[in-house]
Amino acid sequence: MTYQMALDAPVRARRAGLVLAVCCLGQLMVILDSSIVNVAIPSIQSALHFTPGSLTWVYDGYLIPFAGFLLFSGRMVDLYGGRRLLLIGLGVFTVFSLVGGIATNAATLVLGRAGQGFGGAIIASSALAVLTSTFTEPTERAKALALWGAASGSGGAIGVLSGGAIVEWMSWRWVFLVNVPLGLLIAGLAVASVGTTPGGGSGAQAKETKPKQQTKLDVLGSVSVTLGIAALVYGLAEGQRYGWGSARIVSALAIGVVLLAVFVLDQAKLAEQPLMDLRLFRNRSVWAANVTMLAFGAALPATFYFLTLLYQSVLHYSAIRTGLVFLPLTVCAFIGAAASSVIAPRTGPRPMMLAGLVPMIAGLVWQSAADEHATYVADLLGPSLLFGLGLGIVVTSVAGAATAGVPEDKQGLASGVLNTSQSLGGAAGLAVMVAVAQARTAHVAGESGPDAHAFAAGYAAAFLATGVLLALSLVSAAAVPRETR
């Protein structure tokens, strides 16, 4: 009798529930940590004496290694098992969260953020692969993806909310230190519930197996894709700071493109055992979902970034009030994800992706009408509700589309590709929207210099541009096959 057959149904259900908790909490921790520092940045700058030019590394120090390591870590999940990689990722993330929390200078904090980025990439790739390998029945998988999507989609808003509370009542150090007990808790749950199946995938009831001895690491592919994506994200994230025509940024973008070209050549022609099976992109659902995720990934950080600026810089909300006004958006994200879990098994992901993008677009267009005289109930609450509802629907359905029809031994890779698309979209989208906002602010301010009205006009332009970007992504969402389940 197999191990799975030996377990009775209640035990299997409890273990599956623990696996779901592990995946959702892990994803929430990773996404939350990219936004929780936003409210704490002024306190961090003052305490550790960051210069204005180096302050962006509090964010970019996390984003660049996170984005660069996703594809490599996704493939490692397929080769060595989700359980093993998830525990490694949790360990790395927890240790470097401690490093960031006790940092006494800027360099140590950036080191901690970089370590969090590496650990976060492993967690993000392994958590989704574990989830999709555990929940294979369509209805149960849709429910599991809904909770995972709610955690992923609401992580940014929860980060602002919790960051505001921590800064207001505790110390900025706890935006990092809070991950230490949380990481240990998730690791303990993972040890108790997650096993590894004989293909390298993961499940709630499976055995631990060793990787095949004949497995060879594609060194050229691993190095080229990791450094290529890191260089590309660096160029996109720092372009506004140094100027898009500067030698630093042009060189970074060129190096990124060349290294990614080397990676594609290596995967297609040179590698004996490629890091990425390029045939994955013959699956129309996979590539269409990833194109949609590029736009969706661009919209999330840009929206949260400019909402935070609008609330604090223009409307003069306190840190805790800024966090609290994100709460309705978070609640609506969970509602949207729950609705998607009920409907998606009957319709497939394409109708849900389209249905979710529409309220997100409407919310951004509505938000673009807010100015320095906006009131929360009349001008800000409605857009937040619409955006949050659509967010929960889209993030759940796009994850389903990106992993639909993908063999179990490629689930880690598919997860890494999806997360990479989101990271690339986030870096590019935020850079572009910041440029849009600054141009509009300068135009409205004229020679008199920017004031609250000019800043509000710039943020409004960014919201509108983000809505247009999501409207364009309706085309890629519509390309997801109708029959995908």
Per residue in 384-434, pLDDT (tens digit) is 999 999 988 888 888 788 877 777 777 777 777 787 788 788 878 887 888
pLDDT band at 337 (very low <50, low <70, confident <90, very high): confident
Rounded to 5 degrees, φ, ψ at 203 are -150, 175
Residues 474 and 471: their CA atoms lie apart, in Å, by 5
Domain boundaries, the chain: 3-215+273-478, 216-272
Per-residue pLDDT, 90:
93
Q: What percent of the chain has pLDDT over 70?
A: 88
Homologous superfamily of 3-215+273-478:
MFS general substrate transporter like domains (1.20.1250.20)
Per-residue pLDDT, 416:
74
In b/e form, how buried is each residue of 245-256, taking b as 16+ CB within 10 angstroms?
eeeebeebbebb
pLDDT per residue as tens digits for the range 251-297: 999 998 999 899 888 888 777 777 777 777 778 888 888 889 889 88
Give the pLDDT mean for 164-186: 85
Which tokens sit at 179? Answer: 């991950």
Give the pLDDT mean for 339-352: 82
Rounded to 5 degrees, φ, ψ at 202 are -130, 150
Which tokens sit at 438? Answer: 């600054």
Higher pLDDT residue, 229 or 261? 261
Q: Supply the mean pLDDT for the chain.
A: 81
Which tokens sit at 153? Answer: 């989609």
Given a contact cutoff of 8 angstroms between Cβ atoms, the answer to whether 363 and 390 are in contact is: yes
pLDDT band at 178 (very low <50, low <70, confident <90, very high): confident
Rg (CA), the chain: 22
Which tokens sit at 166? Answer: 């921590």
pLDDT of residue 366 exceeding 90 = yes
Helix (H, G, I), strand (E, B) or coil at 372: coil
Given a contact cutoff of 8 angstroms between Cβ atoms, the answer to whether 356 and 397 are in contact is: yes
- Which residue in this structure is represented by tokens 């998606």? 344
What spatial distance separates the first Cα and last Cα of the chain, rounded to whole Å? 31
Could you tell me which of 452, 471, 459, 469 has the C-alpha nearest to residue 368?
A: 459
Given a contact cutoff of 8 angstroms between Cβ atoms, the answer to whether 25 and 183 are in contact is: no
202 bridge partner residues:
196
pLDDT of residue 81 exceeding 70 = yes
Burial class (CB within 10 angstroms; exposed 0-12, middle 13-18, buried 19+) of 268: exposed
Give the pLDDT mean for 434-455: 84
